[in-house]
Amino acid sequence: MSESLFDTHCHLDFEVFDADRNEVLERAWQAGVRHILIPGTQQGDIASKALVHDTQIQLHRAAGLHPYFIQHHQPAHLAKVEEQLKQDQHLLVGEIGLDRTCPEWDKQCELFEQQVQLAARYRRPLILHHRKSQSDLLGILTSYLDELPSCKGVLHAFSGSAQQAQDWITKGFKLGVGGTITYARAKKTRSAIAQAPLSGLVLETDAPDMPLAGGQGQRNEPCCVADVFQALQQLRNESPAELAHALWENSHQLTGFLAADANGDSATY
């Protein structure tokens, strides 16, 4: 694998990787993965940074409260997220979002907006979770777009139409392209990704979840981002080199922000 790859969504801190995390990272390195972004899902997830000591892969992190655990989230947990953002200017905010299959919708919406407010206050990109909720997300996000960094974040596990894809990209978000595009039945999403501006795409695995076609029931790994890249090549007209370069640059726009300085100014690179 000659391309350098960036997995922008991998739950490397989940306990399913505890027994062989370094081996997983070695396989990822051999597949060309050079950077991995690890989202947070519950309070205290950032403490997991001590889990990995021996890897050449650059690890990036985010702090957030995921709607899957909405029944467990408390106000003190939100305060913990803010504390983490204050302590580490490189943290993104996520994985946060809205999920119509999860309970306590009103609490989800309130908690989501509170975390978006934190992202706006500290000028951090967002990692967004959605399930039957893209319009709901945008309904809340619209009021805060001007306060977020120029790269607003990434819509994780994008699925939807070409128009939805264009709308998110126009608003400053990247689309997370993962194992979904390896399934022939995902015609609408595959078509949307084929048509979307290349500047709005990033690669991801969502490991250990979202296995690729043929891997159902198996643990997903960050090394599989190389297979997602190959699947994306089949959908796009760019050369592999052009595609790889753009995805690399897009991913670094997501993670390469500078936090607001004491005067409230900010910059991206």
**Binding site for a divalent metal cation: what residues are annotated?**
9, 11, 95, 129, 156, 206
Positions at the binding site: 9, 11, 95, 129, 156, 206
Distance in angstroms (rounded) separating the CA atoms of residues 176 and 128: 10
- DSSP structural state of residue 66: -
Strands 267-268 and 257-258: antiparallel
What is the residue whose two structure tokens read 């975390």? 115
What is d(CA 21, CA 19) in angstroms, rounded to the nearest whole number? 6
Question: Which of 70, 83, 72 minimizes the C-alpha distance to 109?
Answer: 70
In the sheet that 5-7 helps form, which strands lie side by side, from edge to edge? Answer: 5-7, 33-38, 58-63, 92-99, 126-131, 153-155, 173-177, 201-203
Rg (Cα) of the chain, in Å, rounded? 17
Q: How far apart are CA 85 and CA 158, in angstroms?
A: 26
Q: How far is CA 268 from the centre of its chain?
A: 18
User: CA–CA separation, 154 vs 262, rounded Å?
Assistant: 26
**CA 85, CA 222: separation in Å to the nearest integer?**
25
Query: How far out from the chain centre does Cα 166 lie?
Result: 18
Amino acid identity of 27? R
Q: Report residue 259 as tokens.
A: 């936090």
